[in-house]
Copies of this chain bind each other. A is one copy, B any other.
Amino acid sequence: MEYRKIKDQDKEENVADIEDPHPKSGSGAGIVDKPKIGIQEGSEWKRKSLVTIALTVLTSSQGILIAWSKRAGKYDYSITTANFLVETLKCALSLIALTRTWEREGITEDNKLSTTLEEIKVYPIPAALYLIKNLLQYYIFMYVDAPSYQILKNLNIISTGVLYRIILRRKLTEIQWSAYILLCIGCTTAELTSSSDRVLQTPLQGCMMAIVMALLSGFAGVYTELIIKKRPSRNINVQNFWLYIFGMIFNVGAMLTQDHDDIMNKGFFHGYSLITACMIINHALSGIAVSMVMKYADNIVKVYSTSVAMLLTAFISMILFRFHLTLPFVLGSMVVSVSVYLHSKGKAPR
Q: Report A's interface with B, CB cutoff 8 A.
A: 151, 174-175, 178, 181-182, 185, 188-189, 192, 194, 196-197, 199-200, 324-328, 330-331, 334-335, 338, 341-342, 345-346
* Given the contacts A200-B325, A327-B196, A327-B200, A345 and B178 also touching, CB distance less than 8 Å: yes
Interface of A is mostly: helix
* Given the contacts A192-B192, A325-B200, A327-B200, A175 and B345 also touching, CB distance less than 8 Å: yes
B178 A327 Cβ-Cβ under 8 A: no
B327 A174 Cβ-Cβ under 8 A: no
* B-chain residues with CB within 8 Å of residue A194 when the two chains form the complex: 194
B197 A334 Cβ-Cβ under 8 A: no
Among B185, B196, B342, the residue within 8 A (CB) of A335 is: B185
* Given the contacts A192-B192, A338-B178, A151 and B345 also touching, CB distance less than 8 Å: no
Q: How distant is A182 from chain B, measured CB to nearest CB, in Å?
A: 6
* B-chain residues with CB within 8 Å of residue A324 when the two chains form the complex: 197
* Given the contacts A335-B182, A335-B185, A175 and B327 also touching, CB distance less than 8 Å: no
* Given the contacts A327-B151, A331-B185, A342 and B200 also touching, CB distance less than 8 Å: no
* This chain: copies in complex: 2
* Given the contacts A189-B189, A189-B331, A327-B200, A338 and B175 also touching, CB distance less than 8 Å: no
Seed contacts A175-B345, A182-B338, A199-B327; 7 additional CB < 8 Å A-B pairs: A151-B327, A181-B334, A189-B189, A192-B328, A194-B194, A328-B328, A342-B342
B182 A327 Cβ-Cβ under 8 A: no
28 contacts between A and B (CB under 8 A): A151-B327, A174-B345, A175-B342, A175-B345, A175-B346, A178-B341, A178-B342, A181-B334, A182-B182, A182-B338, A185-B334, A185-B338, A188-B327, A188-B331, A189-B189, A189-B335, A192-B192, A192-B327, A192-B328, A192-B331, A196-B327, A197-B324, A197-B327, A199-B327, A200-B325, A200-B330, A335-B335, A342-B342
Q: How distant is A164 from chain B, measured CB to nearest CB, in Å?
A: 19
Complex CA gap A188/B334 in Å reads 12
Q: How distant is A176 from chain B, measured CB to nearest CB, in Å?
A: 11
Q: How distant is A198 from chain B, measured CB to nearest CB, in Å?
A: 9
* B-chain residues with CB within 8 Å of residue A341 when the two chains form the complex: 178
Complex CA gap A30/B330 in Å reads 29
Give the 8 A-B residue pairs with the shortest CB-CB distance, closest first.
Answer: A197-B327, A189-B331, A196-B327, A194-B194, A178-B338, A185-B334, A185-B331, A197-B326
* Given the contacts A175-B346, A194-B194, A181 and B338 also touching, CB distance less than 8 Å: yes
* B-chain residues with CB within 8 Å of residue A327 when the two chains form the complex: 151, 188, 192, 196-197, 199-200
Q: How distant is A328 from chain B, measured CB to nearest CB, in Å?
A: 6
Complex CA gap A16/B53 in Å reads 45
Complex CA gap A194/B328 in Å reads 10
* B-chain residues with CB within 8 Å of residue A326 when the two chains form the complex: 197, 200
Complex CA gap A330/B345 in Å reads 26
